């Protein structure tokens, strides 16, 4: 793109009054030639003390800015809405679309030509990508990277995953509350996001597989000096992406999403990636459906032995060769066509990749599991689909028939789970936890087991809900049932005692009663659905789409790529 056509020049070029205003207020150290047509690059930064996983991104942003200067651009720090997974109530997911919408509007309304997106914690990279796609400015991501591995009494701690494990041990009486409290200070060893293959690590890897990072960057630990070097390079690259006019719509094709699905399966990534990828594709008008995840991903071997499904942690994956070494093993399943932000295809980066530790990254010939992708279930309990991650489930439960024990809300569950009539063959059903019902589709789908069954040694049961689950969690957990109960889905009509069939090999999820359609919605379920009166929550509940469409807002799908022209003065 020529300098005179540059977006920022629509604000800064010329000697009129408005160009004067735009330049004069920016000249706090910026020389006059900063406005001569060189690319202006926003650094969209989700650093926040209330998003501890991203708190270090301001240091990363300085390396990006150095790179932008070095390549002849002008870096502009742009703090954007940040979402901390562990603190936000009722769930960070409620605000993903808000962060995406706010970031989209700031990218559109400001005089910038490109953007470097700094994210890490679960929802931050998806929100940034959704925003960048809807504005379609040259954009690339610098994932903030995972934290280093912490240890408790000699045992490595997987953050997230081990919280679930240790708290279940407390409930089962095999770990004292005192020791549980002692482990708390060992959980988070360094800057960075969760070190398991949870949602943050998954989304970083998937973003690289989409082509939206410099290849080889995702998974670089947050404290690793390599991260700052690659941040610098990302800053430089953003400038050439503007001159070459390489945009999200240039990089992100249907084949890029299918490559990301292959990566998602090979790394054993989080089910949350399904919702996020569908939402990102929806911004670009790329035709991607829930069933693509099963069709493309379910035959892909699981190669990465990371918690929550396996043993190791992100630091180990990086040491073992990282995502590129994984992708090299499944290169035949990847499309060589889509380019990355560098302009080169993803697959052109694989020939140099090597596995350095075969206990962490298994070679294709000896996978951890032959087929490991996310399975998409259909049936009268989830007409628009539901998902399960077989790699994180108990093999013996993947085909199971049991009696439903139904809970109308997570509060109802918490209040009654230890007194309700239940055995290990029961199927636990939780409703009212979808996008509209909660609202925001929280990560409660891996709800815990009844204490009396835990005490008897039961460690997994079939659980079904319209919720999501933490990417750090595990179990035979059917998630994202759509339509959700609060959108009139059949989950709202199931009753305790109904026989339920889970048949993952045949992709079925059925409640085996003849009169399901004719039944009324359970009143207790309807009473528990959210009815926010005002503000974002009201807008969200009125407009959010179901999980099988990415849980975006209906009016945020697609893009508006024309820059605004009307002046403010
Ligand atoms: Fe931020 Fe896990 S809490 S990545
Ligand atoms: Mg999470």
d(CA 69, CA 47): 21
**What structural domains and CATH numbers belong to the chain?**
3-27+38-149+189-349 (no CATH), 152-186 (no CATH), 375-530 (3.50.30.80)
Complex ipTM, two decimals? 0.93
Three-state secondary structure call for residue 153: coil
pLDDT of residue 467: 98
Entry pTM? 0.97
Tell me the pLDDT of the chain averaged across its residues.
96
pLDDT the model gives residue 366: 98
Decide: 191 in ligand 1 pocket, CB within 6 A. Answer: no
Cα angle value 279/281/286 (rounded, 5°): 145
What residues have CB less than 8 Å from 5, skipping those under 6 apart?
none
Distance 86 CA to ligand 1 centre (A): 7
Token pair for residue 146? 């995972």
Ligand 1 binding pocket mutation candidate from 85, 204, 307 (most atoms within 8 A of CB) = 85
Strand blocks (E) in 68-135: 74-79, 114-119
* Residue of 56, 83, 93, 122 to test ligand 1 pocket, by largest number of atoms within 8 Å of CB: 122
Provide the pLDDT for residue 153.
Answer: 82
CA distance 114 to 139: 6
**In the predicted structure, residue 322 carries a pLDDT above the cut 90:** yes
143 lines ligand 1 (CB under 6 A): no
The predicted structure's pLDDT at residue 301: 96
Q: What is the pLDDT of residue 391?
A: 80
CB neighbour list of residue 132: distance below 8 Å, 6 or more residues apart? 103, 104, 107, 115, 117, 139, 248
pLDDT 10s digits, 175-208: 899 999 988 888 899 999 999 999 999 999 999 9
pLDDT digits (tens, 9 = 90+) for 497-547: 999 999 999 999 999 999 999 999 999 999 999 999 999 999 999 999 999
Residue 171 has what pLDDT? 82
Amino acid 1: pLDDT = 66
Residue nearest to atom 2 of ligand 1 (CA): 194
**Which of 235-244, 352-361, 464-473 has the least mean pLDDT?**
464-473
**Among candidate residues 409, 536, 375, 402, the one with its CA nearest the CA of residue 485:** 409
In the predicted model, what is the mean pLDDT of residues 322-333?
98
Per residue in 374-406, pLDDT (tens digit) is 999 999 999 999 999 888 899 999 999 999 999
Q: Determine what percent of the chain is predicted with pLDDT higher than 70.
A: 100
Which ligand ends up closest to the CA of 202? 1
CA pseudo-torsion sign 326, 331, 332, 337: positive
Q: Is 461 in the pocket of ligand 1 (CB under 6 A)?
A: no
Q: How many CB atoms lie within 10 A of CB 401?
A: 14
Q: Are 314 and 196 in contact (CB under 8 A)?
A: yes
Query: What is the tens place of the pLDDT at every residue in 456-487?
Result: 999 999 999 999 998 878 899 999 999 999 99
Integer Cα distance of 309 and 522 in angstroms:
35
Tell whether ligand 1 has an atom less than 6 A from the beta carbon of residue 194. Answer: yes
């Amino acid at each position: 793109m020529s300098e005179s056509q540059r977006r920022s020049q629509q604000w800064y070029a010329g000697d009129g009054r408005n160009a004067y205003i735009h330049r004069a207020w920016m000249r706090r150290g910026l020389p006059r030639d900063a406005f001569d047509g060189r690319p202006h690059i926003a650094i969209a930064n989700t650093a926040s003390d209330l998003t501890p996983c991203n708190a270090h991104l301001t240091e990363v942003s300085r390396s990006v800015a150095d790179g932008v200067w070095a390549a002849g651009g002008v870096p502009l720090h742009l703090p954007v809405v940040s979402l901390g997974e562990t603190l936000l109530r009722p769930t960070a997911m409620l605000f993903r679309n808000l962060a995406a919408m706010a970031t989209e509007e700031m990218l559109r309304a400001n005089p910038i030509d490109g953007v470097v997106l700094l994210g890490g914690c679960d929802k931050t990279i998806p929100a940034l990508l959704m925003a960048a796609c809807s504005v379609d400015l040259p954009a690339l991501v610098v994932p903030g990277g995972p934290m280093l591995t912490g240890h408790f009494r000699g045992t490595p701690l997987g953050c997230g995953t081990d919280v679930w494990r240790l708290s279940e041990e407390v409930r089962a009486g095999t770990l004292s509350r005192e020791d549980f409290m002692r482990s708390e200070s060992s959980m988070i060893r360094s800057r960075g996001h969760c070190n398991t293959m949870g949602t943050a690590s998954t989304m970083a890897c998937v973003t690289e597989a989409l082509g939206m990072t410099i290849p080889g960057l995702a998974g670089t630990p947050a404290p690793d000096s390599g991260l700052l070097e690659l941040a610098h390079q990302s800053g430089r690259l953003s400038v050439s992406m503007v001159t070459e006019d390489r945009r999200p719509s240039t990089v992100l094709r249907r084949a890029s999403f299918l490559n990301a699905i292959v990566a998602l399966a090979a790394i054993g990534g989080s089910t949350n990636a399904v919702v996020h990828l569908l939402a990102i594709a929806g911004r670009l008008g790329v035709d991607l459906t829930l069933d693509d995840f099963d069709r493309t991903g379910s035959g892909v071997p699981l190669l990465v032995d990371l918690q929550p499904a396996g043993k190791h942690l992100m630091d180990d994956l990086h040491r073992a060769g990282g995502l590129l070494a994984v992708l090299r093993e499944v290169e035949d399943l990847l499309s060589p066509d889509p380019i990355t932000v560098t302009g080169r295809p993803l697959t052109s980066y694989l020939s140099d990749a090597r596995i350095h530790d075969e206990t962490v990254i298994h070679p294709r010939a000896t996978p951890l599991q032959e087929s490991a992708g996310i399975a998409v279930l259909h049936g009268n309990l989830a007409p628009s689909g539901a998902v399960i991650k077989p790699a994180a489930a108990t093999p013996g439960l993947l085909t199971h028939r049991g009696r439903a024990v139904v809970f109308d809300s997570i509060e109802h569950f918490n209040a009654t789970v230890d007194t309700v009539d239940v055995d290990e063959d029961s199927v636990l059903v939780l409703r009212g936890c979808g996008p509209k019902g909660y609202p925001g589709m929280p990560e409660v789908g891996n709800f815990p087991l009844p204490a009396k069954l835990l005490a008897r040694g039961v460690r997994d049961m079939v659980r079904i809900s319209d919720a999501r689950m933490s990417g750090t969690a595990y179990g035979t957990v059917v998630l994202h049932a759509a339509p959700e109960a609060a959108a009139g889905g059949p989950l709202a009509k199931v009753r305790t005692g109904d026989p339920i069939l889970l048949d993952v090999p045949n992709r079925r999820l059925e409640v085996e009663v003849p009169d399901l359609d004719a039944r009324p919605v359970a009143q207790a379920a309807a009473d528990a659905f959210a009815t926010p009166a005002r503000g974002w929550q009201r807008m969200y509940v009125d407009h959010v789409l179901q999980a099988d469409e990415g849980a975006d807002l209906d009016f945020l799908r697609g893009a508006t790529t024309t820059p605004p022209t009307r002046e403010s003065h």
